[in-house]
Amino acid sequence: MADIEVTPPPPEPLTAKSIDKIAVPDVPEGEHRLQYSYSLWFMQRGRGSVSSATSDYEDQIKHVGAFSSVEQFWSYYCHIAHPSDLPPHCDIHVFKMGIKPMWEDTANKDGGKWIVRLRKEISSRSWENLLLAMLGEQFIVGNEICGAVISVRPTEDIVSIWNRTASNDSIVGKIRDTLQRILQLPSQTIMEYKAHDQSLKDKSSFRNTALYVR
């Protein structure tokens, strides 16, 4: 009887829980190195299916890939769905290597995020502009930026930029002003800021935010 070849199952996708297993990509000669390396993450939330327990939440965030150069970024970006193509309750995270896209992470726990709610028809372009600005170091706040997120929701999409130090009003204000310019926000646009420790208290990303009207 001939031997039967058994195809091994595909490996389980890496999650935020296994962040230590993610290697920093090499940059081949001729590519343009970014100042920081980044990880790309994806999460799809079923209604009420994502537990608030940290370990369960970590398992829901799937690692898509990592990049260290401009060319590596575009190789991912050109082959993933853009916000306008995604169903509601999906999140895309782009964070510096070694930082989990979670409030509890050491780099995030004392920080917060600026939040901008967008109409569906402009969210994909706004998200691209935000990513290019972050990768190109346009915020000019040193190591303060941790990452960026777009949250696709039924009636709107929400972009946010995370920073390390919520208590530093100067840095928080500088990030706000740069975000306004990058997204070309019209006058009277409402921007929101929320410290991650407040998110941990009320277990919410977008409730009880501090409002700022441009």
Side-by-side strand order, sheet with 210-213: 62-69, 33-44, 90-96, 145-152, 157-163, 112-118, 190-195, 210-213
DSSP class of residue 27?
-
Architecture of the CATH domain 32-213: 2-Layer Sandwich (3.30)
Predicted pLDDT at 32:
98
Q: Which residues of the chain have pLDDT under 70?
A: 1-12, 47-55, 214
Query: Domain map of the chain by residue range?
Result: 32-213
CB atoms within 10 A of CB 174: 16
Contacts of 160 (CB under 8 A, 6+ apart): 113, 114, 115, 116, 148, 149, 150, 151, 205
Report the alpha-carbon distance of residue 189 to residue 191 in Å, rounded.
6
Predicted pLDDT at 206:
87
DSSP class of residue 5?
P
Q: End-to-end distance of the chain based on CA atoms, in angstroms?
A: 76
Q: Decide: 100 and 147 in contact? Cβ < 8 Å.
A: no
Per-residue pLDDT tens over the stretch 11-54 = 667 777 778 788 899 999 999 999 999 999 999 987 554 455 66
Look at the pTM and tell me if it is higher than 0.85: yes
Predicted pLDDT at 53:
61
